[in-house]
Each structure stands twice: as structure tokens, then as C-alpha cells.
Amino acid sequence: MSREMLIEKIRKVPNFPIEGILFYDVTTLFKDAKALQQLSDDLYEMYKGKGITKVVGIESRGFIMGPILATRLDAGFIPIRKPGKLPAETIEQSYDKEYGQDTIQIHKDALDENDIIVLHDDLLATGGTMEAACELVKKMKPKKVYVNFLIELAELNGRALFGDDVEVEALITV
């Protein structure tokens, strides 16, 4: 399946979650077995051979492809969640996003200095959520951090938030 076909399968929902936002719904990719397999294969090809030890997925759509990628890479999966959702001791990071402010948390013992991380989420828009997630995992001093998205909205230039020490990749750019 080509990238163009994947793009065609993405549902675009105007004015969600608030007026003026065009939401790119990737659940239409996940419900199609061939599209899901293509996403899995493409993500694996991107990160195989890089020594990834943990895939960190951001709530909630990062919880879908993140564990699939982790399994393919023989790596662990770590969730980043909203406050109050993780049962053990956490560290957190607050941030501004396109339509409000939020906070994310990770278990304090989830990562260490020996880990090579892929941080994964579904969409790069303005980049606030992933920038916060990146800062959060960097507090744990991993060896390397890669940042990955299924979709990047290039015109919003969210990629500019990340320093040269972080490789940012997206499977689909629109």
C-alpha cells in the first residue's frame, strides 16, 4: 500500500475537538488490516538496527502503534499518561497545546541511562505534547531519544521545537 493510499484512508474531521481545528483521525488506518500492517512494517524499517530498548507511547493514540513497534523491535513499551492514571511514583511535565494546557506523567522507574528510546505519537501538529514528552524522558537521561509520528502537518512546523540531539521522523507528511 502506497503512502498516498494511506493518506486517503485518514478521516479528516473539521472543528474537532474545538472550532477551527481540523482533526486527522488515524482510527480509519487502524481498522484496515493492510494499512495497519503497512504502518507496522514502515515503523519497523525506520528503527530496526538502532538498538532501541524502549518505545514510549503518548496517551492515547500512541498506545496503538507503540506496543506493535516495541514487539517488532524486541523492546519494552512505556506509557506516558495524563495525571492520576499511573499507579506508582511518577514524574511530570506541563505544557501548552493548540487548545489548552495539559500535564503528562511517566513512572519514575520506567527508563534509565542505558535506554535508547523511540517516543511515538500519532500526529505532529504544533508539537507541544511531544516536546513535553521529550523533556520528560530526557530527565531520565537515556542514551538516545528518537521522536516518531504517523502523520506530520508540515505547515505547522512543529518539528522546529526539537533540538539537533533528537531525530524526528514521520511516516506521512501532509
Q: Residue 30: how many CA atoms within 13 Å on its side-chain side?
A: 13
Q: For residues 125 and 82, what is the distance between their CA atoms, to the nearest angstrom?
A: 19
Cβ neighbourhood burial of 19 (10 Å; 0-12, 13-18, 19+): exposed
Are the C-beta atoms of 121 and 149 separated by less than 8 Å? yes
- Alpha helices by DSSP H, listed for the chain, are 3-9, 27-30, 33-47, 62-73, 128-138
**Exactly one of 59, 72, 92, 98 is catalytic; which is it?**
98
Residue where the block lists cell 492520576 = 84
* Marked catalytic residue, from 61, 131, 152, 159: 61
Q: Report which of 120, 141, 118, 133 is spatially closest to residue 48, judged by C-alpha positions.
A: 118
Active site residue 61: yes
Report the DSSP beta bridge partners of residue 5: none
**Where do we find the cell 511531544?**
130
Q: What SS3 state is found at 166?
A: coil
- Catalytic residue numbers read 61, 98
